[in-house]
Chain A
Amino acid sequence: MKEDYIETLRQQDTNLRDAIRLEEEALPPMPADLNARLMQRVAKEEKKPRRIVWPWIAAACAAGVLMIWLTPPKVTPEDVVAKQKPKVEQQTPSPALPSNGKEVVNPEAFKAEESVIAKAETEKASRRTTPRQEKTENAQMTPPSQAEEPATDLLAVQETEVSTPLPSGEGQGGGSVVMLTERDIPITRPENYKYTPEEIALMKQQANEAYLKWVELELEISKYTLEKMAQK
């Protein structure tokens, strides 16, 4: 029924049929050389060897899986360290906390720090005693990197002194000695991650000295330029 109705529509809609016919006639004509171009393309396509890619992809995947399966797991330095760490902990037992819960400070390390601070203070004192003129002359002669030497020396001293073997219960008994540097020790004490007042004072002093040096240098430059101007 519906099909018959549709067929009658086809015959009935004359305006629409005419319009579509005119539209079709107005379509751009087919280029004359289009078929020749098509045949050229067909010839080109046929010349191309058709490669079947999927077996190669499957083989590559299988090879990759085999590679992963067969290669032994890599032993990284972190793994070695992780394996060794428990031993170190066994050999160097952590100092027992007293009953009041206060932290126990390693006396030798504390002594080493004290000696460093004392050394720094003596250096400061010796600098204070030297006349100012002499100091300025030295400052002019020495480059700024040399002026900062005491601080770097101080750090080096600290590290070497801390890296000396720590006395431990088992170590004293003739067991294996473990060398610990400051990097291996976890920062537990505030002195290790905060600047001490002495260090702060030292840094302030260095900053003041650097400022004075800069002022003197500026003065020198201005003197030099004035002299040059006077000569002219």
Chain B
Amino acid sequence: MVTDIEINLIEGLMEQSPKAQQMMVERYGRHVFSQVVRLLPSVEDAEEVYQDVFLKVFLNINRYEEEKSSFKTWVSRIAYNESITWLRHKRQQMIYFEDEDGEAERLSEAEVEATLGHPNQETVQLIRAALKHLPPEERSLITMFYYEEMSVKDIAYVTDSPPNTIASKLFRTRKKLCKIIQMLQS
């Protein structure tokens, strides 16, 4: 659903009105920046990509399709794609946990629920440490789901993946987090 404010904003952007551009930046700036800085390794890189995202939004505003997603989700999609493109382009060497042996997959759902579900401050800190070992795409995925409370359909639109793939990735990432926590504890 696109609100009246968004409709006016989009119309202003189509006319390349500086006022509309300023309004757009003020309205979605923080959201875009948090999304970009979450994926990229440094603030300087995030600033660069942030500017690229808005330039792309201003240039491609005609391509926005109301039926496919909300305006915010469309902006998120551009931000996500720009960040991933930047990461792929820079090819920065980062070390993340990869479940190559499938040990995380073998964890039972009860085990995962016990770790992630029962309120425990110590576990929260462990999860925070474990989050750092996840690849940026997975970290972004669970943040969109748990923190931004986006639907699987919207996440699928942002990441340009089928909703079933997103659901599978969510389950896998939860198990992966549990495995990392177990490794950190041991």
Q: What residues of chain A have their CB less than 8 Å away from a CB belonging to chain B?
A: 2-3, 6, 9-10, 12-24, 27-28, 30-31, 34-35, 37-39, 41-43, 45-46
Kindly list chain B residues whose C-beta atoms are within 8 Å of the C-beta of A31.
43, 47
B74-82, B92-100, B120-128 - the one binding chain A: B120-128
Given contacts A30-B30, A38-B25, A42-B55, whether A16 and B142 have CB atoms under 8 Å apart is yes
The A contact surface, by secondary structure, is helix
Q: Is the CB of A2 within 8 A of B47?
A: no
Kindly list chain B residues whose C-beta atoms are within 8 Å of the C-beta of A12.
113, 116-117
Q: Is the CB of A39 within 8 A of B147?
A: no
Q: Is the CB of B115 within 8 A of A20?
A: no
Q: How big is the B interface, by class? A: 35 or more
Of all chain B residues, the one with the shortest Cβ separation from A24 is B147
A37 smallest CB distance to B (angstroms): 7
Q: Is the CB of B128 within 8 A of A16?
A: no
Of all chain A residues, the one with the shortest Cβ separation from B29 is A35
Kindly list chain A residues whose C-beta atoms are within 8 Å of the C-beta of B43.
28, 31
Given contacts A16-B146, A23-B131, whether A46 and B16 have CB atoms under 8 Å apart is yes
Of all chain A residues, the one with the shortest Cβ separation from B152 is A6
Q: Is the CB of B29 within 8 A of A30?
A: yes
B33 lies within 8 A of chain A by Cβ = yes
Of all chain A residues, the one with the shortest Cβ separation from B129 is A19
B37 lies within 8 A of chain A by Cβ = yes
Contact of A21 among B118, B120, B147 (CB under 8 A): B147
Kindly list chain B residues whose C-beta atoms are within 8 Å of the C-beta of A45.
55
Bound-state CA distance A28–B37 (Å) is 8
Bound-state CA distance A16–B145 (Å) is 11
Bound-state CA distance A31–B113 (Å) is 38
Bound-state CA distance A32–B152 (Å) is 33
Of all chain A residues, the one with the shortest Cβ separation from B119 is A14
B85 lies within 8 A of chain A by Cβ = no
Name the residue in A6, A37, A38 with the highest tally of chain B Cβ atoms < 10 Å from its Cβ. Answer: A38
